[in-house]
Amino acid sequence: MMTSTKVKPLLVNYKTLEEFKRFKEYGNQELAMLEDLESNIVENDSESPFFGVYYGSALVARMSLYRVRAKYDKYFVPPQDYLELWKLEVLPDYRDMGFGKDLVEFAKSFELPIKTNPRINSHGFWEKMGFQKANYDVERDLGENPLIWMPTGVEERNANA
Ligand SMILES: CC(C)(COP(=O)(O)OP(=O)(O)OC[C@H]1O[C@@H](n2cnc3c(N)ncnc32)[C@H](O)[C@@H]1OP(=O)(O)O)[C@@H](O)C(=O)NCCC(=O)NCCS
């Protein structure tokens, strides 16, 4: 599959952490990364779970990807490793330029199923990206409205079976 060369893995360093402050979804994850860097728990320029798109030298879009192991998979058949995608966000001035799509296509290029818990009002975007609502399972999905995407050959688990 074609992957965008625009999408870069983001390293944990002070510059990246400063750029993260421009995003609305900034919270515990970013603060923990900053603390780990300050207390030398992680080295400068170590890998982060984030990927981003730069416009010139500015980070304008980002997402976090986490690989969930098969033994914790409650979404797909057969149970398998999948990607949890979160904190997908494009800065307001750079929306509708294809950067959100670039990030999602990059995530798809791993050829693993993807799960995300979308923000309100972004359903149109996810639908365009080929994501579908997971069959709602109250125990599994409490407080979430998971959307999933599956590569060829993967099926959704029937949560209510
Ligand atoms: C949702 C978000 C990640 C999309 O990223 P983006 O870079 O703006 O989107 P793209 O330019 O990659 O759009 C890809 C396609 O999805 C469509 N699209 C984007 N946002 C959409 C939306 N909210 N509803 C319906 N379609 C949407 C685009 O028109 C485009 O369609 P095309 O391929 O036919 O041209 C981004 O806008 C964002 O971070 N928004 C912040 C908050 C939010 O969720 N807003 C939703 C609207 S209030």
**Distance of CA 146 from the midpoint of ligand 1 (Å):** 18
pLDDT on residue 159: 59
Question: Does ligand 1 have an atom closer than 6 angstroms to the CB of 87?
Answer: no
CATH number at residue 43: 3.40.630.30
Contact status, residue 146 vs residue 134, Cβ threshold 8 Å = yes
Q: Would residue 1 count as lying in a domain?
A: no
pLDDT digits (tens, 9 = 90+) for 28-52: 999 999 999 999 999 999 999 999 9
pLDDT on residue 98: 96
The confidence band for 70, taking pLDDT boundaries of 50, 70 and 90, is: very high
Contact status, residue 27 vs residue 64, Cβ threshold 8 Å = no
What single-letter amino acid sits at 150? Answer: M
Domain count, the chain: 1
Q: Which of 19, 24, 21, 12 minimizes the C-alpha distance to 92?
A: 24
**pTM of the predicted model, to two decimals?**
0.93
- Tell which atom from ligand 1 comes closest to the C-alpha of 118: 44
Mean pLDDT score, 137-157: 94
Question: Does ligand 1 have an atom closer than 6 angstroms to the CB of 89?
Answer: yes
Mean pLDDT score, 76-86: 97
Mean pLDDT score, 101-128: 95
- Alpha helix locations (H) across the chain? 14-20, 28-38, 99-108, 123-128, 138-141
**Distance of CA 4 from the midpoint of ligand 1 (Å):** 17
